[in-house]
Structure 1
């Protein structure tokens, strides 16, 4: 099995590096200056224990790959880029949505028959071209996998085994989307952190709205107790050598000035479901709106106070 890591940023780059170090064939798909540095100098992987530069094969797109029968695509880009990425892949390839949110699997299933979801618990950073950082040790992350919409099969077990060999905790789960909805609730604070920094007083009502919406929509998700039991304190945050632990993935999007952010598929998922089921979602709608404003205007990450954020909200 060869892994095509499509979107070699924080999660994808770190994942590809760890799979390659475990002896698995890996091709990274990257872009821009990040791709140029990887091709010219290798990918610099920073962990809490050490830094090392890895010579990894990297290309700018799927058309540059000579596809093989045993290839598996690991999608690791943000959801707003998924549709365009899928259209560049060859027909029939298995697609693994190693992404936050719950929209990617449905998008992928329109194009491919074999689609898998992964619940991603994997703290990483990518702020500098050619450099990625892993922040949990000794276990880099938890990457449980299942078929979409449900079930497990031999390929899921094989991918889980490969991830386990690379140091991850990974199990095939037949109800993977139930866990991904739990991760969605955890990610609802991302847009707030990106704009304001750490503000627990806003995280709480944002998540409470999300839970009310999922209950109204009849969508099952794992409880906080179940989630803590599954994680068992395996994910621990540390600074990596040369890369302090910073904000989450949405914060990093603003810090890199990409002009885009994933809030439409995190808070926006709750906004969509709230509108469909008649549940007011003012906090999530505001989080989505403010994150998009900061991204499009390329405003600095974490530069708005919680008081200013709340003052701009329509209640």
Structure 2
């Protein structure tokens, strides 16, 4: 397949490189020092599943430079979603199917608001990967799972084609008939992991070992489950407890991209994580005091490290 990957960070860089290694024609859209490093030496991925390196010719600086494309993977930070959707709509790939592997529960709604409903596949990924330095992505564990699903019946056949392409590349991929529920399931976990590792400024091992921070982890997830159920998503009442048990199985050193961005002084996706839970809870009349506290604590860092620190 001819695949365009918008965003060559941990998620886009890893999955794009894995798909390229399987013989697909992959083109990354990147920027800044990362773009220049890929142009010089290709994108390097360090992974426990094997080292990967893409061609230096596999990257462009903008969506407008893309040629004919069979699939667009969107892997940018959430604040760039609207801009990417607008650029896709006015580009040469305006009719290509789109699969977002971003965080959050609103990203597909944003894309579907600017592209056609049948054009957008629902998707979610489970992976720990980040940019180690310009041109280099570090994949932290063997986990590299993707779940996708169609929002409209007309997308189902193409979804199966994408599934086959991912599996042929050695990616753990599957489909779901209720992709919205799967996206919310990941969101519950992600909000909990992000909120606690960022506010405590420690990996999950420290968070889950302390009685009070463990309770915070549970409560943040429980509030997110309540918001999901109020939104009409079918999640079990005990889902937060199940996710807390799942957190006990994670490597103690595991952290979140929100924590990494906070430590590095980068802009945060907080308004789409705990902040997004608070906003939706307010509209639905559901209490979310723990997520509100997290949002308030991290508010000074949303746009990056505050001036003077």
Q: TM over 0.5, yes or no? A: yes
Check conservation: 2:5, 2:26, Cα contact below 8 A. Answer: yes
* RMSD, matched Cα: 2.8
Please give the secondary structure, in 1, of the residue aligned with 2:185. helix
Deviation at 1:286, TM superposition (A): 2.0
Q: Match for residue 39 of structure 1?
A: 39
Q: Are 2:97 and 1:94 equivalent residues in the alignment?
A: yes
Of 242, 263, 277 in structure 2, the residue corresponding to residue 255 of structure 1 is 263
Q: Are 2:138 and 1:136 equivalent residues in the alignment?
A: no
Q: Match for residue 61 of structure 1?
A: 62
| Partner Cα distance (1:98, 1:51) in 2 | 22
Q: Could you tell me the TM-score, scaled by structure 1's length? A: 0.81
Change (3 A) 1:162 1:289: farther
Please give the secondary structure, in 1, of the residue aligned with 2:138. strand
| Partner Cα distance (1:204, 1:275) in 2 | 20
Q: Match for residue 210 of structure 1?
A: 224
Q: Match for residue 7 of structure 1?
A: 7
| Partner Cα distance (2:157, 2:48) in 1 | 34
Deviation at 1:151, TM superposition (A): 8.0
Check conservation: 2:197, 2:259, Cα contact below 8 A. Answer: yes
| Partner Cα distance (2:291, 2:3) in 1 | 35
Q: Are 2:75 and 1:76 equivalent residues in the alignment?
A: yes
Deviation at 1:87, TM superposition (A): 1.1
Structure 2 gaps of 5+ residues are 208-213
Deviation at 1:247, TM superposition (A): 2.6
Of 194, 197, 208 in structure 2, the residue corresponding to residue 193 of structure 1 is 197
- Paired residues in the alignment total 285
Please give the secondary structure, in 1, of the residue aligned with 2:114. coil
Deviates more, 1:114-123 or 1:12-21: 114-123
Which residues of 2 match residues 251-290 of structure 1 at below 5 A? Answer: 251-258=259-266, 260-290=267-297
Q: Could you tell me the TM-score, scaled by structure 2's length? A: 0.83
Structure 1 gaps of 5+ residues are 239-244, 300-315
Point out the structure with the larger helix share. Answer: 2
Check conservation: 1:5, 1:73, Cα contact below 8 A. Answer: yes
| Partner Cα distance (2:263, 2:70) in 1 | 33
